[in-house]
Amino acid sequence: MDIATLKDFATQQRAIRLIDTSRDVDDSLIEQILEVGTHAPSGGNRQIYRFIVIRDPEIKRQLAEIYDTLGAQRYGNPESRTTWAQMPVMIAACSIPGSGPPGAATSASRSATAASVMPAVQNMLLAITALGLGSVLTTLWKEEEATINKLLGLPEGAEIHAILPIGWPDRKYGRNHRKPISEVSFRDRWDNAW
């Protein structure tokens, strides 16, 4: 793929919080999303990520209860988001127990683990975009992490890094808009203008 095609595609990725709840999302599409996810890099190609694909209505209802409450506190306006209880499917992106390098609680270890899961998350979001589906990268539920880990049956030491609610967008969305790179880039040292 040439860089112009990639750049054009990258501008089409949007955070989709309102979905058409009348349409389901086939497993065949989920499998394509997961496959693109696995082709992202992970430390030592160890693939320490695990993906939990959630369709169970009772699990979705309990997740929604947590997320809707946190979302109302943080963002307000519940009409701007489809409740997770009505999401066709969600993917929780996790890491396996003991997946960091030696020193589980260190900053180095935490970064290494996130760096082995989040690239797969971004690849999955790109696949979701390519399929015409919508999603949004969420971490707010982390505030109730212990409850959610229990709900999804995570073993001790495993961690959820992102939850992606997935559905068909409620409408057509335009391109994303970002600051020019000069506003987020430095040369050689922090605060040296690009």
Q: Pick out residues in 83-112 that bind a copy of itself (CB under 8 A).
A: 94, 101, 106-108, 110-112
CB of 83 to a copy of itself, least distance (A): 18
**What span, in angstroms and rounded, lies between the C-alpha atoms of 57 and 21?**
14
Cα distance between residue 163 and residue 91, in whole Å: 6
By CB under 8 A, what part of segment 150-179 binds a copy of itself? Answer: 152-155, 158, 161-162, 176, 178-179
Q: Does 62 bind a copy of itself (CB under 8 A)?
A: no
Q: Which helix (H) or strand (E) holds 152?
A: none
Residue 135 main-chain phi, psi, to 5 deg: -160, 180
Site mask for a copy of itself (CB under 8 A), range 6-45, x = bound: xx-xxx-x-x---------------xx-xxx-xxxx-x-x
CA gap 61, 116 in Å, rounded: 29
Nearer to a copy of itself, 23 or 75 (CB): 75
Q: How far is the C-alpha of 138 from the C-alpha of 161, rounded, in Å?
A: 9
Site size toward a copy of itself (CB under 8 A) is 81
